[in-house]
């Protein structure tokens, strides 16, 4: 099976090799089944097979036990005899224990290299999903991103976004005239959601240096594809953060990778564990985006494999694009369970040897119902398959082994130091400081002007010529004379206004007219 990855044995007695053709591996796939039926082991052996064929892999370690991919299995392991018996039954003649090249990643930077992106790269749609914003709040977030672009404000980390939202709130009156109503309540609600995200450790996701996709697509010196393992045991405490990060990573792969058509093997295989978290309560816009990515990322050479308990967890439009399937057992205790089991069976191409619905219900641990794309991309006939045993360690490695592998990683030291460069927070802080200084200067000038006005009104400041007060006797005499003259003038005017005055005026005027 040089052009395929070996999954296990099917047919009568499980002697017929079942494999997934590498040239169809970018047509996506599904690993489904109830808890405890063997999904994690199937994920592990598929990662091994892809790596051995030179295909890099990205997967999330939800339970903490996939780190064993970095170490070889051991004959001392309690399941060694069972593994050897299974290998003989399915015709796995060259089965041996082997370690695989692994790169560990961790959003919190504790169990692997820090993995970050910027707020701008994630965009308003995914951040709105991450924060569980309402439609009105999402609209304000879109306004904030638009303003960041227009005013040259780089959005790198959470404090950049928080500072920008403060500025939007302070200038909401002017912004509302252009973009529509911006309420202080909605801005406050977004800020509170950002605080919750920060308390959950989400702030560590945002910043620089941001993850370079090329570091996920490395091979080692032997040509094995590196297996990138995201530590997700702690991350699962924030399921919305987990799902949003993986969706962002898929979107980045879709947007940045070049078109390659139909390659002989994928450039990267991406396993999306706990896939139901991506679609739970997801708005239609987000589901449409996932569907678009799933439909078009194939041409970028990326295969996406969703892992979930029930195929019904995946929307039908996306499920129809998953051509390679490994279906472990489904439980059917209720009428709803039986309906979902029947629907799952109907998505397979029938095998005349057995009833598909019954097989899905009856397969044991380590066994699955499988269907892989055959010639010309046609779905193969469904088969009951005994999954091959893993070559790497089944279970986690210890912290000391993990640390040694992290220190020896080809990206060691590249992402560990946070780079907090000049961005929106610093720019807006400088603007605020300048505005405060300008306001303080204006207040000082206004205070000086007010003081001058008060002094003028209090007659302490004169703008005319200064006249000295005279103390000579002559001046006092003149002053008294002027005062007496003024008094006599006033008395005369008063008299003229009275009866005597009127008589005098009549006499004078009468004399004048008689003279004419």
Give pLDDT, residue 510. 44
Token pair in block for residue 376: 């010309």
Look at residue 486 in the predicted model and tell me its pLDDT: 52
Q: Mind listing the pLDDT tens digit for each residue in 60-99?
A: 999 889 999 999 999 999 999 999 999 999 999 889 999 9
Q: Is residue 494's pLDDT more than 70?
A: no
Over residues 44-54, the mean pLDDT reads: 97
Q: What was the pLDDT predicted at 1? A: 64
Strands (E) in 372-470, as ranges, are 383-387
- What value does the mean pLDDT take over residues 301-317? 92
CA distances (Å), 246 to each of 157, 161, 168, 205, 473, in order?
A: 18, 21, 30, 12, 104
E strands, 157-234, where?
Answer: 227-231
Angle between helix 119-131 and helix 158-170 axes, rounded to 10 deg: 70
Give the pLDDT confidence score for residue 473 in this predicted structure.
46
pLDDT at position 42: 96
The whole-number average pLDDT for the span 343-361 is 92
Bigger pLDDT: 253 vs 485: 253
Which pLDDT score, from 0 to 100, does residue 138 have? Answer: 94
Q: What is the pLDDT of residues 251-280, one digit of tens each?
A: 999 999 999 988 899 999 999 999 988 888
Please give the Cα distance from 239 to 101 (Å, whole number): 28
Residue 396 DSSP label: P
Tokens at residue 93, please? 């003649």
pLDDT, tens only, 205-259: 999 999 999 999 999 999 999 999 999 998 888 888 999 999 999 999 999 999 9
Closest CA to 83 of 48, 41, 35: 41
Would you state the structure tokens that stand for residue 247, as one six-digit string?
A: 């969706």
- Among 38-52, 338-352, 354-368, 467-481, where is mean pLDDT lowest? 467-481
According to the model, what pLDDT value does residue 22 have?
95
Which residues 6+ apart lie within 8 Å of 200 measured at CB?
Answer: 237, 238, 241
Q: CA 134, 136, 142, 147: dihedral to nearest 10 degrees?
A: -140
Interacting residues of 257 by C-beta distance below 8 A, sequence separation 6+: 213, 267, 297, 300, 301, 302
pTM over 0.85: no
The 10s digit of each residue's pLDDT in 372-424 is 998 888 999 999 999 999 999 999 999 999 999 999 999 999 999 999 999 99
Total residue count of the chain as it appears in this document: 516
When the pLDDT of each residue in the chain is averaged and rounded to a whole number, the result is: 87
Do residues 232 and 61 make contact, with C-beta atoms less than 8 angstroms apart?
Answer: yes
SS (H, E, C) 461-508: CCCCCCCCCCCCHHHHHHHHHHHHHHHHHHHHHHHHHCHHHHHHHHHH
d(CA 274, CA 337): 19
Q: What is the pLDDT of residue 337?
A: 87
Residue 224 near residue 52, CB atoms below 8 Å = yes
9-13, 346-350, 458-462: which has the minimum mean pLDDT?
458-462
How far is Cα 291 from Cα 298, in angstroms, rounded to an integer? 12
Beta carbons of 222 and 51 less than 8 angstroms apart:
no
For the chain, percent of residues with pLDDT exceeding 70: 88
* Closest of 12, 168, 7, 25 to residue 92, by C-alpha: 7
Rounded to the nearest 5°, which phi and psi values hold at 456?
-65, -45
């Amino acid at each position: 099976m040089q052009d395929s990855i070996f999954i296990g044995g099917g047919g009568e007695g499980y002697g017929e090799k079942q494999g997934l053709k590498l040239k169809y591996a970018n047509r996506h796939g599904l690993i489904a089944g109830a808890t405890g039926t063997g999904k994690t082991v199937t994920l592990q052996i598929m990662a091994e097979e892809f790596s051995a064929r030179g295909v890099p892999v990205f997967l999330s370690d939800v339970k903490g036990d996939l780190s064993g991919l970095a170490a070889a299995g051991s004959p001392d392991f309690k399941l060694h005899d069972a593994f050897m018996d299974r290998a003989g039954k399915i015709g796995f003649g060259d089965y041996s224990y082997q370690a695989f090249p692994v790169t560990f990643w961790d959003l919190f930077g504790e169990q692997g290299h820090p993995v970050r992106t910027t707020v701008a790269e994630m965009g308003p749609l995914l951040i709105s999903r991450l924060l569980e914003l309402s439609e009105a709040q999402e609209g304000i977030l879109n306004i904030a991103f638009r303003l960041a672009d227009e005013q040259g404000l780089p959005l790198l980390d959470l404090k950049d976004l928080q500072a920008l939202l403060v500025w939007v709130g302070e200038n909401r009156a002017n912004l509302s005239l252009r973009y529509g109503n911006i309420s202080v309540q909605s801005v406050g609600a977004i800020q509170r959601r950002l605080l919750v995200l920060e308390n959950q450790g989400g702030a560590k996701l945002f910043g620089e240096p941001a993850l370079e996709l090329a570091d996920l697509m490395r091979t080692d010196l032997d040509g094995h594809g590196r297996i990138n393992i995201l530590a997700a045991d702690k991350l699962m405490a924030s399921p919305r953060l987990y799902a949003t990060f993986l969706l962002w990573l898929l979107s980045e792969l879709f947007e940045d990778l070049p078109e390659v058509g139909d390659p002989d093997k994928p450039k990267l295989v991406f396993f999306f564990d706990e896939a139901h978290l991506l679609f739970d309560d997801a708005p239609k816009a987000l589901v449409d985006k996932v569907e678009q990515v799933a439909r078009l990322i194939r041409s970028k050479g990326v295969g996406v494999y969703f892992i979930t308990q029930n195929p019904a967890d995946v929307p039908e439009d996306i499920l129809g694009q998953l051509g390679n399937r490994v279906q472990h057992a489904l439980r059917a205790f209720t009428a709803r369970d039986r309906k979902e089991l029947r629907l799952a069976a109907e998505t397979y191409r029938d095998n005349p040897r057995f009833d598909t619905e019954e097989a899905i219900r009856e397969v044991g641990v380590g066994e699955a119902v499988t269907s892989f794309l055959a010639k010309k991309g046609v779905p193969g006939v469904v088969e009951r398959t005994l999954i091959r045993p893993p070559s790497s360690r089944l279970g986690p490695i210890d912290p000391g082994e993990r640390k040694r592998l992290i220190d020896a990683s080809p990206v060691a030291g590249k992402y560990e130091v946070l780079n907090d460069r000049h961005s929106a927070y610093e720019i807006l802080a400088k603007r605020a400081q300048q505005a405060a200084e300008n306001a303080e200067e204006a207040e000082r000038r206004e205070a000086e002007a007010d003081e001058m006005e008060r002094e003028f009104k209090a007659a302490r400041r004169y703008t005319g010529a200064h006249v000295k007060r005279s103390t000579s006797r002559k001046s006092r005499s003149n002053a008294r004379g002027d005062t007496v003259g003024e008094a006599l003038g006033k008395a005369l005017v008063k008299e003229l206004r009275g009866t005597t005055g009127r008589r005098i005026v009549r006499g004078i005027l009468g004399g004048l007219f008689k003279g004419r």
